[in-house]
Amino acid sequence: MSDVRWQVLFDAEPDAVLVLSRDGTVRDVNPAGLALLEAERPEAVAGTSVYDYVAPAHRDVFRAFAERVCEGKKDSLDVEMVGLKGAARLLAVHAAPLRIESEGRDGLLLVTRDVTYLRETEATLRESRKMAAVGHLAGGFAHDFSNMLNGIMGGLWMVATKLEPDHPAAPMVAAAGQAGRRAADLVRQLMTIGRRSMGDARLVALPSLIEEVVRRMRVTLDPGIEVVVKADPETWPVNAHPGELRQALLHLCENARDAMPQGGRLQIELGNIEKAGDAFVRLVVSDTGAGMDAETTPRIFEPFFTTKPEGKGLGLGLTVAQATVTRLGGTIAVESEPGRGTRFVVEIPRRVEAEAAPEPVPTPPAVQKGNGGVILVVDDEEILRLVARASLEQAGYAVLEAPDVFSALAIYQRERERIAAVVTDVRMPGRSGFDLLADLRKLDPNIRVILCSGSLAEGTKVDLPRLGAKAYLPKPYSARELVEVVSQVLGATS
């Protein structure tokens, strides 16, 4: 090939091309290479060493790579390089040995492509698949595990109702109940990681939500931790499930608290920002704790990764927070250095559909006595039917039981004049709770049915008005929660 044709191809190549001497001296560079190295003219880089542009952490690896190529072996490598103006890029480098006639010795030809965005996208995809795998795993066992927890916690509740407050076993039963509730919370967190739906999302005013979280946090904070809140009252609302967003913020604050066992400052900042024509709400949670090194920081969102001592944390809080923010279309980033604390920056897109109302203060509903109303409980787990019966009977209801859809339909057809409501599991062997609901509505379009499930994913997909169900009760549920839902359904439709 003539020198003219070589020069035309060299200049037209869209990838960066560098010609190097064996010692790494830059002998020639094409226009794409000049842009990559942030140089305006070839003279700015000619005669410099390529190792001046290679990130320090990659220099030894790149040096060994160059030596292999000069020995006659073609090779490829991902390496970080820094341009003359300081911009760092991750490059995919393909190299081949090259005879430099003007020097009478061997060198090498580098063809490089900026893959920074590509590698970031690949990392995001791997993380997304990891989260999906965890969510799929959680969904696989959530139903059965929730059923077992429901039985265990219900059995403990039944025992507790038979014990006097001063009975020696009462504290142990109470402690076992607390452990069961923590296990139920773990299942919910795992399901949150893998969920795609936000459930009942609405516009949320973050200043009032932050105020609520801080109020809760102060109860558990060491007196040596100072809490500073800098929230712009004019912060735009965001479209979110308030419970999930509250939990995500709580996880970030708890992480900051645990990083400061000797005291310090927990700071929460909230405000509006605009970037590239888009509007975001920015939430920053920072602490003055121990901080993290460069190896630990990239791993903190991994499921079950924790820097806390064994038994002090499961390593799911930050994973849940990241999953929640991602579902909102937002981003969460972390900045940390050993001895200089940690800073989490959350950015969530603005929503302007309507004015967000302050978070309502929940008030416990009034629980009506059953007065002998008959409830049909349908579940394939005998222990859950037993617990539901005990809970409802203590509240004044009468209870009929069915282990499957076939039995439930037979009982309903025989006792339909007496049955006030049906409480049914969703997932059962054979036909499901959805099938039962459809069949019951053929018999009575106004039937009052409460759906239960141990899978949050099922729960968020339930379109109650379309199906004709009156309520949804996630498992594991307490005796009070069951009675409250039944009371509300009967009260609303009486």
Give the list of residues 6+ apart from residue 34 with CB closer than 8 angstroms, or none.
Answer: 40, 41, 42, 44, 45
By C-alpha distance, which of 419, 414, 417, 370 is closest to 390?
A: 370
- Position 414 pLDDT exceeds 90: yes
More confident residue, 277 or 426: 426
Say if domain 123-194 classifies as CATH 1.10.287.130: yes
E strand or H helix at 91? strand 88-100
CATH number of 3-114: 3.30.450.20
At 303-315, the pLDDT tens digits run 777 766 655 555 6
Beta bridge partners of 25: 49
More confident residue, 349 or 367: 349
What's the rounded Cα separation, in Å, for the pair 376 and 448? 10
> Would you list the DSSP string of 431-457?
S-HHHHHHHHHHH-TT--EEEEES-HH
- Please tell me the CATH superfamily of domain 374-493, with its number: Response regulator (3.40.50.2300)
Which pLDDT band, with edges at 50, 70 and 90, does 288 fall under? Answer: very high
Question: Picking from 53-67, 275-289, 364-378, 408-422, which range would have the lowest pLDDT averaged per residue?
Answer: 364-378
Find out whether 153 and 180 touch, Cβ atoms under 8 Å.
yes
- Position 369 pLDDT exceeds 70: no
So what's the pLDDT on residue 271? 93
At 26-70, the pLDDT tens digits run 989 999 989 988 998 888 888 999 999 999 989 999 999 998 888
By C-alpha distance, which of 54, 48, 99 is closest to 80?
A: 54
So what's the pLDDT on residue 185? 66
At 444-487, the pLDDT tens digits run 999 999 998 876 444 444 567 778 889 888 887 888 889 999 99
455 burial level (CB within 10 Å; 0-12, 13-18, 19+): buried
Half-sphere exposure of 273 (CA within 13 A, CB side): 13
Domain ranges of the chain: 3-114, 123-194, 206-349, 374-493
By C-alpha distance, which of 113, 76, 111 is closest to 91?
A: 113
What's the rounded Cα separation, in Å, for the pair 210 and 222? 19
* pLDDT > 70 in the chain, percent: 82
- Position 11 pLDDT exceeds 60: yes
Q: What is the pTM of this model?
A: 0.47
Cite the beta strand spans of 326-435 per DSSP E: 331-336, 342-349, 374-378, 398-402, 419-425
What's the rounded Cα separation, in Å, for the pair 151 and 148? 5
Please give the backbone phi and psi of residue 26, each rounded to the nearest 5 degrees, phi first. -80, 120
> Would you list the DSSP string of 452-482?
EES-HHHHHH--HHHHT-SEEEESS--HHHH
- Position 364 pLDDT exceeds 70: no
More confident residue, 172 or 447: 447
| 417-442 mean pLDDT | 92
DSSP state of 427: -
Strands 75-82 and 225-231: unpaired
Q: Which of 3.30.1280.10, 3.30.565.10, 3.50.50.60, 3.30.2320.50 would CATH assign to domain 206-349?
A: 3.30.565.10
Find out whether 333 and 344 touch, Cβ atoms under 8 Å.
yes
Q: 């504290």: which residue's tokens?
A: 171
Give the list of residues 6+ apart from residue 297 with CB closer than 8 angstroms, or none.
Answer: 334, 336
Find out whether 249 and 285 touch, Cβ atoms under 8 Å.
yes
Average pLDDT, the chain: 82
So what's the pLDDT on residue 335? 92
